[in-house]
């Protein structure tokens, strides 16, 4: 399966998986798959337990393959971690972090300056720019525990942006967020696309997935991959969701799925 910009000769793939098999706790989560992801925004979508978060972990270099390979920018992910920013859901982080928004965003510079390195002018500029892009200026001095869920999620996305990585990985970045925060994160993705960088976004929302340039539909394996209209065709959705796909007439479908399961 190929997911990319359609011209593999001129623009190299960002992520390439070959015969990739991923397991957790001795259980196979993603069966052997071949996959290539290019620049732009790629959506990972599928039912709960389909392997979205597991695949993101592998791309980030946090989960070694059980079999097969995954390369990022032509190298093993662990060798190019400075070029990869991975943003988890705010729901999966402590709600009462005793740190300010600015301090959380500044942690995005750690891959560049080291865990205990002092912030230089370029680091401070990157932190300031990331805060501004997510409209967090008024909250920069506040503790994370004082923020709403949407503001906390924006702070973690800003942390990812502060890294100035070439590949941005986002796990359910808009799940349960207010309209304002959702639109701001969507704008960040549009800006990353316009800058020629790549973003891979896991989502349970079919509508959100369709906003991507490319879609990878997962169900323990790659069911379909390509432009949204192709990958999210009814026949592929029926294959991926099976009994959880409800036909409501015409081209409209609903999915009966728990959005909060982490896979």
Contact status, residue 22 vs residue 222, Cβ threshold 8 Å: no
Asked whether the predicted pLDDT for residue 5 surpasses 60, the reply is no
Place of tokens 């036909």: 247
Residue 225: count of CB within 10 angstroms of its CB:
24
Instruction: Tell if the pTM clears 0.85, that is, is over it.
Output: yes
Asked whether the predicted pLDDT for residue 247 surpasses 60, the reply is no
pLDDT bracket for residue 118 (50, 70, 90)? confident
Give the pLDDT confidence of 18-62 residue by residue, as tens digits: 999 999 998 999 998 899 999 999 999 999 889 999 999 999 999
How far apart (Å, rounded) are the C-alpha atoms in residues 38 and 172?
20
Query: Could you tell me the residue ranges of all domains in the chain?
Result: 15-255
- Calculate ∠ Cα 94-24-83, nearest 5°: 65
Parallel/antiparallel/unpaired status of strands 40-45 and 214-218: parallel
Residues 6+ apart with CB under 8 A from 251: 234
Percent pLDDT > 90 in the chain is 69
Q: Which residue has the higher pLDDT, 124 or 257?
A: 124
Contact status, residue 168 vs residue 198, Cβ threshold 8 Å: yes
| Cβ burial 26-48 (10 Å sphere, 16+ → b, else e) | eebbbebbebbbbbbbbbbbbbe
179-194 and 149-162 are packed helices; what angle lies between their axes, rounded to 10 degrees? 20
Three-class SS state of 145: helix
How far apart (Å, rounded) are the C-alpha atoms in residues 149 and 154?
9
- Would residue 122 be called left, alpha or beta, if left means φ above 0 and alpha means ψ between -120 and 50 degrees? alpha
What's the token pair of residue 245? 């796909």
Note the Cα 216 to chain centre separation in Å. 12
Return the C-alpha torsion angle 67, 73, 74, 77, nearest 10.
-40
Three-class SS state of 141: coil
pLDDT for the residue numbered 110: 86
How far apart (Å, rounded) are the C-alpha atoms in residues 240 and 134?
34
Asked whether the predicted pLDDT for residue 112 surpasses 90, the reply is no
Contact status, residue 60 vs residue 76, Cβ threshold 8 Å: no
How far apart (Å, rounded) are the C-alpha atoms in residues 161 and 194?
14
Parallel/antiparallel/unpaired status of strands 167-171 and 84-87: parallel
Domain 15-255: CATH superfamily, name plus number: P-loop containing nucleotide triphosphate hydrolases (3.40.50.300)
Average pLDDT on 197-208 reads: 94
């Amino acid at each position: 399966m190929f997911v990319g910009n359609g011209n593999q000769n001129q623009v190299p793939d960002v992520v390439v998986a070959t015969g990739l098999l991923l397991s957790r706790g001795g259980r196979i989560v993603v069966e052997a798959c071949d996959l290539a992801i290019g620049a732009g925004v790629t959506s990972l979508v599928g039912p709960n337990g389909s392997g979205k978060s597991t695949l993101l972990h592998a791309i980030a270099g946090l989960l070694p393959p059980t079999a097969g390979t995954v390369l990022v920018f032509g190298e093993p992910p662990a060798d190019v971690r400075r070029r990869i920013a991975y943003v988890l859901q705010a729901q999966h982080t402590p709600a009462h972090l005793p740190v300010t928004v600015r301090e959380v965003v500044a942690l995005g510079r750690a891959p560049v300056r080291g865990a205990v390195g002092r912030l230089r002018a370029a680091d401070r500029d990157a932190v300031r720019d990331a805060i501004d892009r997510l409209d967090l200026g008024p909250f920069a001095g506040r503790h994370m525990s004082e923020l709403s869920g949407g503001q906390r999620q924006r702070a973690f996305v800003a942390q990812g942006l502060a890294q100035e990585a070439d590949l941005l990985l986002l796990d359910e970045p808009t799940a349960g967020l207010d309209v304002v925060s959702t639109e701001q994160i969507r704008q960040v993705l549009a800006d990353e696309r316009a800058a020629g960088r790549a973003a891979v976004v896991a989502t349970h929302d079919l509508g959100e997935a369709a906003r991507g340039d490319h879609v990878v539909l997962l169900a323990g394996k790659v069911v379909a991959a390509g432009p949204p209209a192709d990958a999210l065709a009814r026949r592929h959705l029926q294959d991926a969701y099976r009994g959880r796909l409800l036909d409501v007439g015409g081209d409209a479908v609903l999915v009966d799925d728990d959005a909060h399961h982490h896979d």
